[in-house]
Amino acid sequence: MPQVLSLGELLVEMMRPAVDQPLDEPGQFVGPFPSGAPAIFVDAVARLGMSCGFIGVVGDDPFGRCVTRRLEADGVDMCHVRVVSHRTTGIAFVSYRSDGSRQFLFHLPESAAALLSPEDVHEDYLRGVRALHVTGSALSVSESSREACYRAIDLCKQYGAMVSFDPNIRPELLGVNVVRTLCEPVLQSCDILLPSGAEAAMLTGDADEDTACRALVARGVPIVVLKRGARGCVVFTEQGRVEIPAYRVTEIDPTGAGDAFAGGFVVALLRGMSVTEAARFASAIGALAVTRQGPMEGLPTLAEVQTFMNSVQE
C-alpha cells in the first residue's frame, strides 16, 4: 500500500524549444513530456524512494501510455489509474517568453482526465496512506474530479493521514470568488498549504503575501509554505516565520518546480525532518527540477539530492 497518494489530471506537454516562439504561429514543438501537477508531485515522491500511488484517468492512446509508462518506471503504483477509449489523454502546449513568463494552451475539460470521479476513490486503497496531496488544478478540471478530491480528503482524514494542498488555480479563468469556494473545503482539512504569493492573496483577500500567509495560519492551517521561485520560500507556522533562500542553478525549464518542491517537502516531513529542514530539502529538489527541459525530467533521486546539498555546503 502506498504511503503517499495523489490524484487528478494526467497529461502530456508539448513545448516550444526556444523563447519567444508564440503558440499562434507555425513552428516546432518538442515532446511529449509526461506532466500534470499532481503527477509531477507523485513522481518526485517516487524518485525519492517513498512508496506512492496515483488515482486518475487517461485515454487509451500513445500519450496516455507515455505518462503511465513513465510513472510506473519511476515506481508509482498505477493500479487505480483508469484507461478509457472514448476520451483522449490531456495535452498542454507551452511557449516561453524572454521575460520569464509562459503561455499555456490546455486540452483538459474534454480530456480523459476530466472523467475522474468519486467512484475512482476506493476506501480500501486509502487506509494505509500517510499523506494525500491535492492540487487546485484537479479541483477545477471538472465537477466529478473535484468531488473525487473531496472524497479522498475525507477518507484520508478519517484514517489520520495529513493533507497537503497546492492551490494552483488560475483565477482569471474562473473568477476569485469561485476559486475560493472550490478551495474552502480543502483549506478546512489541509495540514500543509503550498501557495505562491498571488495564490495566498487570492485565498484571503490580503494584498501583502506575508499578511495573507499569517492569516491562513491564524484560520487553522498548521503549515503554510510560501513558494517564491528564485527568491526561495518562507515557512509560516504558529511559532513564526522562517525564510529559506533558494539554491542557485541555471534554469532551463521552470514548469513543475513547485510540484517537485511539494513532493520533497512531504517526503521530508514523513521521514522525520523538522519543518525548516523539510523546506531546505524541498528547495534543493525544486532547484534541480528546473535544470532540464520537461516537467519531470529534472526530478532527482535521494542520492542526487544529498550530493547536491553537500556540494553547496562545501
List the domains of the chain with CATH numbers.
Answer: 4-313 (3.40.1190.20)
pLDDT confidence of residue 175: 73
pLDDT confidence of residue 296: 95
pLDDT confidence of residue 312: 79
Percentage of the chain lying above the pLDDT 70 cut:
98
Residue 113 has pLDDT above 70, yes or no: yes
Average pLDDT over residues 40-60: 98
pLDDT confidence of residue 6: 98
pLDDT band at 214 (very low <50, low <70, confident <90, very high): very high
pLDDT confidence of residue 173: 58
pLDDT confidence of residue 145: 97
Return d(Cα 312, Cα 217) in angstroms, integer.
32
What residues act catalytically?
259
Q: Which three cell numbers stand for residue 94?
A: 507551452
Looking at per-residue confidence, does 86 or 171 come out higher?
Answer: 86
Residue 282 has pLDDT above 60, yes or no: yes
Average pLDDT over residues 120-138: 96
pTM to 2 decimal places? 0.95
pLDDT confidence of residue 227: 96
pLDDT band at 100 (very low <50, low <70, confident <90, very high): confident
Average pLDDT over residues 128-133: 96
Average pLDDT over residues 17-26: 91
Lowest-pLDDT range, 93-107, 120-134, 250-264?
93-107
Asked if 3 and 52 touch (Cβ cutoff 8 Å), the reply is yes
pLDDT confidence of residue 99: 83
Asked if 131 and 4 touch (Cβ cutoff 8 Å), the reply is yes
Percentage of the chain lying above the pLDDT 90 cut:
83
Return d(Cα 276, Cα 242) in angstroms, integer.
7
Tens digit of each residue's pLDDT (9 = 90 or more) over 216-269: 999 999 999 999 988 999 999 999 999 999 999 998 888 899 999 999 999 999
Tens digit of each residue's pLDDT (9 = 90 or more) over 147-190: 999 999 999 999 999 999 999 887 555 777 888 889 999 999 99
Closest CA to 108 of 52, 150, 169: 169
pLDDT band at 38 (very low <50, low <70, confident <90, very high): very high
pLDDT band at 271 (very low <50, low <70, confident <90, very high): very high
Asked if 172 and 202 touch (Cβ cutoff 8 Å), the reply is no
